[in-house]
Structures are given as C-alpha cells and as structure tokens.
Amino acid sequence: MTTAELVARGRAQRSRRRRIIISVLVVLIAICFAGSLMYGHTVYTPMEVWRVILGQDVPGASFTVGTLRIPRAIVAVTVGLSFGLAGVTFQTMLRNPLASPDIIGITAGAGAAAAFAIIVLKLSSAQVSMFAVTAGLAVGLLVYVLSYRQGVAGTRLILIGIGISAMLDSVTSYLLSRAGEWDLQLAMRWLSGSLNGTNYADVRTVGIAFLVLAPILLAQTRNLGAMRLGDDTASALGVRVERTRIILIVTAVGLIAFGTAAAGPIAFVAFLSGPIAARIVGPNGSLLIPAALVGALLVTAADFIGQWLLGTRFPVGIVTGVLGAPYLVYLIVRTNRAGESL
C-alpha cells in the first residue's frame, strides 16, 4: 500500500469516526430532549407529548408540556449550542483551553449587569436580559481593547480577562450584600444559571440570535483552523488575521451574551465543550459542530439531572459547576507540571 493510499485511508477513518460521534451526540441530545418533555411530577407518554407538539388539546399535558416543558427544553438545547460554539471558538482562536468566556470575564460582565438591573434599577425580566446582552458585548470589547498591543496575544487576553472577571465578581458580591430579600432571590436565581421560568419569548430571543450568529462562525471555519497554527502561519495562508479575529470575537461574545440573557451564566459549559469534543473526536478537523453538540448535551442532561435525579431540585448551573470546577483545577495542575505557560 502506497503512502498516498495510507493517508487516504487514515482520512476516511477519521471522517467516519467524526460522523459516528456527531450522530451519537445528536441521538443523545434527542433522548434528553424527549425525556425532559415526558418526565416530571407528572409523566406523559410519547404519544401524548406528540399530540401536544401537533397542537392538539390534551388535558393536563397541553399546559404542562406545551407551556412549561417545551420552551425550557428548546432554550436548553439552543443555549448549550451557543455556549459550546462560542467557547471552542475562543479556545481555538487563542490556542489555549483557558480562553473561555467563563474565564475571561464575559459571563461575569453579563452577571454583574443583571444584578445591577434587578437590585438597583428594579427592571423587568426582558429589560434585565437586554442589560445583560449589552454588558456582555461591552466587556468583550473592553478585554479586546486592553489586550491589544500590535495584535492580541492569547495569554495577555486571558490574564486581563481574569482580572476584569474578578473585579466584576466583586461588584456582583457587593450588590448582593445590599439587596433586599426578594431582589436577592431573583438575582441569585439568575446568577446561578437557571432554566426556571423560561418561556416562548426566551425561545425567540436566543433562537434568532443563534440562527443569525452561528452561520457567521461556521463560515469562518477555514480561517479559524488556520489561526490554530499561529498568526504568522495564518497570514501566510492568506487569512486576514485581525479582521478575522474581530469577527470571531464579536460573534462569539454575541452568542454568549444572548445565551446568558436567556438562562443566566450557566457555569463551565463553554469551558468544557471544546476539550470534551477534542477528546472524543480527535484534534484533527474543526471542532465547532462537535463542541456545539457537546454543549447542548451538557445543558440538557445537567438540567434533567438537577431537576429529578438528586433528590432536591438544583439549577442547571449548579450541576455544570460541579462538573467544571474539578476539570479547571486539573487543567491548571497538568499545565503547571508540564512546565507550560497558561
């Protein structure tokens, strides 16, 4: 067998493995989605759920499934797709697994703005969401501007983002310490990352944002892949590095901001999705679609676990935080032992 045949065979095997894994992820998401519609305090059959989806009147199920469960499940999937896609974009572009919106202050900015809107301004839910979107975009721009010095270095952006995140977390803590009992409950429910109370307005908001922004990121797949090799190599391959970086950052921050506005800053989904996707798919090829699917699976599965499998109902962000925090510690320890820089 010639070298060319061996290369072609290896590519075919990797492509087949990728298709299989993507198919498995889609099936698992569908199972979690269906389970979240059927299971709860009242369990409905697949046929009853299907009749509700078709718009038929099913006593009890029309309200429980049609009004409560369907919007929650759709938002869970869409937010997970958004977080996974945005997280792996940052990690790939900056060539660092710590370059996640969870770490570099974007979700902290949205959270601080939401706490301010709830506690100080007494705004409605829709206004809080818009406040969070605006703040997330503003913090993303601020981190980019402060880290820019003849280009954006990944390490500098991460360190500046961590510093801004710490300051914003302090602001949030101060606001919570001054909040009244009712405002504190509202703010904590939002800050913990929760799908409680989601409705079709949230479905429209996060759905439209995803349908507009996700294709922009997917269209940059080739350029993003070239940037994994370094800015100089990407430029040599014809990529306009700074222009591409701005497009990627603005689009990814938009996905995070709208997702956070709909469900709060669900911890570590953006951070975990890319590494998990790379582990199961392999480092070769684009991770955008696998990471998005992993994010959707994490959110839908964590929400179901937090609601029904732990004895007490926990917000989805608590469950993902329990999963993500040990991995963050492991990543830092492993990097330190290897003598690498973050």
Q: Which residue has the tokens 């800050």?
A: 191
The verdict on pTM exceeding 0.85 is yes
Which one has a higher pLDDT value, 163 or 144? 163
Rounded percentage of the chain residues whose pLDDT exceeds 70: 93
122 CA to centre of own chain = 27
Distance CA 246, CA 223 (A): 12
Amino acid at 120: V
Distance CA 27, CA 293 (A): 10
Phi, psi at 148, each rounded to 5°: -85, 125
Query: What is the tens place of the pLDDT at every residue in 93-127?
Result: 888 887 888 788 888 888 888 889 888 888 887 78
Q: Helix H segments across 39-180?
A: 46-53, 61-63, 70-94, 106-119, 125-147, 154-177
Q: Which residue has the tokens 């697949």?
A: 46
What pLDDT score does 83 carry? 95
Confidence of residue 10 (pLDDT cuts 50, 70, 90): low
DSSP state of 247: H
Task: Work out the burial of residue 231: count CB atoms within 10 Å of its CB; fewer than 13 is exposed, 13-18 middle, 19 or more buried.
Answer: middle
What pLDDT score does 314 carry? 87
Q: Over 60: is that where the pLDDT of 288 sits?
A: yes
Q: Which residues contact 188 (CB under 8 A, 6 or more apart)?
A: 176
Mean of the per-residue pLDDT values of the chain: 86
